[in-house]
């Protein structure tokens, strides 16, 4: 059985939380006491039936305001798959939370209200999901019951969204008409939609293939922690503990330790203290090197033939997440997974216009802005572009003093065209 992580996104009141509630409810992931608590709550607040949205809106303020503020995680399992759902807020001011949700997802369900069609938020969320590297999309046309289960309305919205998908280069969009409130086409096929021949939502989620062929990615591994028992039995043992970030590692292959550039051989790969001949992403392993070289946390060990070029200059897209605007010259910390170094934002090159998906001139980045910047780091990073590698092409920016997470960073270019130290 494998694992699918997906996000739900869409405008306020499109019914995201209700859809998740429906998925959980119809796949028997909601237990009796949770339902009883919900019914109790509904009796004291609004009218009538169980409000499925209350299954995801967990904080008091969310329930009081009837909106989702923060990212919520929900889990359900069918005989085919385990699912991790990230429910992200629809409001503009919580876009940073959508970025957060999208960063870990393989698939995005873009929810559209059949009465409203494709709106600004639909575009905005699709752009964010595409930017964060999600390749699989479901256009869920919700509240289809409120437009009389009209095929024409569905077709029009699908056509409208095709224009958005085209512009963003989304190739894998599956469109499904649903009613989350009534359950049409979510987990069960609907008699109300005889004109729709495709799979229902859950059937699609159970079967869509989002796997990546590990062997096609370059091998990447960062040292998280050095294991040195220094016991009588193991006086000289040095193991480099970390997660294979991408690709494949084979015992005996030539590797290079970066950023130092020291070449050596991968003497052994160990999992649970047992040697294995081959390991793949995202396995947690211990690497042993043939030579006694200086390796510490944050260093990258990469297959010699696939090694990245360490760089101190990066061009990156930032999703800015702090109230205080970013201006050029600001110093901060870059956390590139296990590597951390100081950095300065040299220039803000442009800002992405969420409406037209074009680049505009910008001199600062405000909360929720998506900007292109040039960064210079104090120590070199063994990084890739986000296009090449969704793990090693990603970083976060932290406030030096408070440690707050300021931005999500996606590397666009590692070797800049005109490095200033070269003549």
Site for another protein in 275-294 (CB under 8 A): 276-280, 282-284
Is 243 one of the binding residues for another protein (CB under 8 A)? yes
CB within 8 Å of 44: residues ≥ 6 apart: none
CA distance readout (Å), 5 to 71, 86, 245, 313: 14, 8, 17, 33
Contact call for residues 143 and 150 (beta carbons, < 8 A): no
Among 372, 358, 368, CA closest to 406: 368
Using the contact rule CB under 8 A, the part of the chain among 31-39, 183-191, 308-316, 342-350 near another protein is 31-39
Q: Which residue, 63 or 376, is less far from another protein as judged by CB?
A: 63
Kindly state the smallest distance separating residue 378's Cβ from another protein, in Å. Answer: 16
Is 89 one of the binding residues for another protein (CB under 8 A)? no
Q: How far apart are CA 81 and CA 205, in angstroms?
A: 9
* Interface pattern 95-134 for another protein (x via CB under 8 A): -xx-xx--xx------------------------------
Kindly state the smallest distance separating residue 414's Cβ from another protein, in Å. Answer: 17
Using the contact rule CB under 8 A, the part of the chain among 107-115, 270-278, 310-318, 346-354 near another protein is 270-278
Q: Which residue has the tokens 């699908």?
A: 158
Is 341 one of the binding residues for another protein (CB under 8 A)? no
CA distance readout (Å), 24 to 78, 135, 136, 203: 10, 24, 21, 14
Is 77 one of the binding residues for another protein (CB under 8 A)? yes
Buried b (16+ CB within 10 A) or exposed e, 251-262: beeebbbbbeeb
Using the contact rule CB under 8 A, the part of the chain among 32-40, 107-115, 193-201, 364-372 near another protein is 32-40
Is 143 one of the binding residues for another protein (CB under 8 A)? no
Quick one: which of 47, 48, 49, 60 contacts another protein (CB under 8 A)?
A: 60
Quick one: which of 93, 194, 225, 355 contacts another protein (CB under 8 A)?
A: 225
Among 310, 320, 368, 322, CA closest to 348: 320
Q: How many CA atoms lie within 13 A of 42 on its CB side?
A: 15
Is 3 one of the binding residues for another protein (CB under 8 A)? yes
Is 391 one of the binding residues for another protein (CB under 8 A)? yes
Quote the distance between the C-alpha of residue 17 and its chain's center. Answer: 19
Kindly state the smallest distance separating residue 88's Cβ from another protein, in Å. Answer: 11
Is 72 one of the binding residues for another protein (CB under 8 A)? yes
Among 225, 296, 290, 223, CA closest to 255: 290
∠ CA 40-44-50, rounded to 5°:
50
Is 338 one of the binding residues for another protein (CB under 8 A)? yes
Is 92 one of the binding residues for another protein (CB under 8 A)? no
Q: Which residue, 160 or 253, is less far from another protein as judged by CB?
A: 253
DSSP one-letter string for 326-364: B-TT-EEEEEETTEEEEEEEEEEEEEEETTTTEEE--S-
Kindly state the smallest distance separating residue 317's Cβ from another protein, in Å. Answer: 13
Is 268 one of the binding residues for another protein (CB under 8 A)? no
Name the packing angle between helices 95-103 and 120-131 (round to 10°).
Answer: 40
Is 385 one of the binding residues for another protein (CB under 8 A)? no
CA distance readout (Å), 340 to 237, 335, 377: 26, 4, 10
Is 304 one of the binding residues for another protein (CB under 8 A)? no
Quick one: which of 239, 259, 303, 308 contacts another protein (CB under 8 A)?
A: 239
Among 220, 183, 415, 169, CA closest to 313: 415
* Interface pattern 344-363 for another protein (x via CB under 8 A): --------------------
Decide: helix, strand or coil at residue 398. strand
Quick one: which of 235, 273, 292, 423 contacts another protein (CB under 8 A)?
A: 273
Is 59 one of the binding residues for another protein (CB under 8 A)? yes
For the segment 159-198, give every residue that binds another protein (CB under 8 A): none
Is 415 one of the binding residues for another protein (CB under 8 A)? no
Q: Which two tokens stand for residue 71?
A: 């990212």
Kindly state the smallest distance separating residue 361's Cβ from another protein, in Å. Answer: 27
Element (H, E) at 161: helix 151-168
Q: Which residue, 276 or 416, is less far from another protein as judged by CB?
A: 276
């Amino acid at each position: 059985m494998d694992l699918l992580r997906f996000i739900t996104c869409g405008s306020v009141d499109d019914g995201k939380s209700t859809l998740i509630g429906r998925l959980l409810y119809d796949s028997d992931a909601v237990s009796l006491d949770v339902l009883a608590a919900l019914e109790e709550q509904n009796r004291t607040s609004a009218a009538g039936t169980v409000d499925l949205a209350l299954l995801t809106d967990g904080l008091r303020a969310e329930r009081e305001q009837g909106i989702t503020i923060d990212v919520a995680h929900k889990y359900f399992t069918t005989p085919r798959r385990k699912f991790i759902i990230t429910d992200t807020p629809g409001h503009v001011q919580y876009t940073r939370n959508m970025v957060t949700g999208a960063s870990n997802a393989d698939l995005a369900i873009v929810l559209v209200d059949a009465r409203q069609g494709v709106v600004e938020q639909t575009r905005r969320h699709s752009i964010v999901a595409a930017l964060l590297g999600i390749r699989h999309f479901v256009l869920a046309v919700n509240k289809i019951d409120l437009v009389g289960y009209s095929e024409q309305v569905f077709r029009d919205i699908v056509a409208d969204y095709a224009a958005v998908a085209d512009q963003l280069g989304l190739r894998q969009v599956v469109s499904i008409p649903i009613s989350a409130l009534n359950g049409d086409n979510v987990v069960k096929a609907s008699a109300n939609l005889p004109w729709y021949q495709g799979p229902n939502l859950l059937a699609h989620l159970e079967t869509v293939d989002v796997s990546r062929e590990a062997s096609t990615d370059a091998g990447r591994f960062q040292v998280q922690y050095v294991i040195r028992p220094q016991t009588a039995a193991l006086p000289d043992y040095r193991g480099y503990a970390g997660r294979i970030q991408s690709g494949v590692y084979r015992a005996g292959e030539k590797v290079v330790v970066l950023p130092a550039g020291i070449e050596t051989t991968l003497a052994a790969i160990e999992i649970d203290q047992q040697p294995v001949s081959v390991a793949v992403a995202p396995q947690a392993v211990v690497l042993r090197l043939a030579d006694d070289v200086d390796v510490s946390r944050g260093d990258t060990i990469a297959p010699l033939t696939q090694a990245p070029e360490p760089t101190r200059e990066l061009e990156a897209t930032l999703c800015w997440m702090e109230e205080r605007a970013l201006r050029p010259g600001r110093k901060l910390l870059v956390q590139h997974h296990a590597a951390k170094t100081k950095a300065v934002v040299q220039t803000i090159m442009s800002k992405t216009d969420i409406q037209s998906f074009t680049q505009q001139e910008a001199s600062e980045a405000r909360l929720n802005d998506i900007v292109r910047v040039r960064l210079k780091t104090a120590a070199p990073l063994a990084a890739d572009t986000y296009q090449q590698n969704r793990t090693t092409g990603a970083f976060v920016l932290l406030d030096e003093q408070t440690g707050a997470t300021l931005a999500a960073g996606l590397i666009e270019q590692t070797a800049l065209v005109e490095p200033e130290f070269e003549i």
